[in-house]
């Protein structure tokens, strides 16, 4: 029984991610060009869902996050109708900036490569 209890949050977070991603594609196509749901984290009690989103265009991040926050009650109703859960989770949208970090690391690595000597023998 212990093993099953630890699997449930992963399964429910996958379902939440799938439903929200599908909704964004179908109902908010103006956002899907530069918005990606990168992950959903849920605790064992399934009462909250931290939804990580990545926004490609840096200048539109604040606008997209505001739209998502405004649409949170609608997302909760959507999940309540589609998922058979005892508690409808509170949704918390978090901006995922890992792509920016990767870009910064790549840039730094390129700078290091340019300063290295050609012969390493």
All domains of the chain, ordered by start, with CATH?
2-115 (3.30.300.20)
HSE of 21, CA atoms in CB hemisphere, 13 A: 15
pLDDT at 109 over 90: no
Burial track 27-66 (b if 16+ CB lie within 10 A, e otherwise): eeeebeeebebebbebeeebeebbbbbbbeeeeebeebbe
Confidence of residue 3 (pLDDT cuts 50, 70, 90): low
Q: Would you say the pTM of this structure is higher than 0.95? A: no
Q: What's the pLDDT score for residue 117?
A: 54
The share of the chain scoring above pLDDT 90, in percent, equals 35
pLDDT at 118 over 70: no
């Amino acid at each position: 029984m212990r093993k099953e209890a630890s699997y449930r949050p992963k399964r429910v977070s996958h379902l939440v991610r799938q439903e929200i991603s599908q909704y964004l594609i179908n109902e908010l196509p103006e956002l899907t060009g530069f918005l990606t749901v990168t992950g959903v984290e849920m605790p064992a009690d399934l009462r909250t869902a931290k939804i990580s989103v990545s926004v490609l265009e840096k200048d539109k991040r604040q606008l997209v996050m505001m739209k998502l926050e405004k649409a949170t009650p609608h997302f909760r109703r959507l999940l309540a109708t589609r998922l058979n859960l005892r508690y409808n989770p509170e949704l918390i949208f978090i901006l995922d900036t890992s792509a920016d970090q990767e870009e910064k690391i790549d840039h730094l690595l390129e700078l290091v490569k340019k300063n290295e000597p050609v012969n390493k023998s």
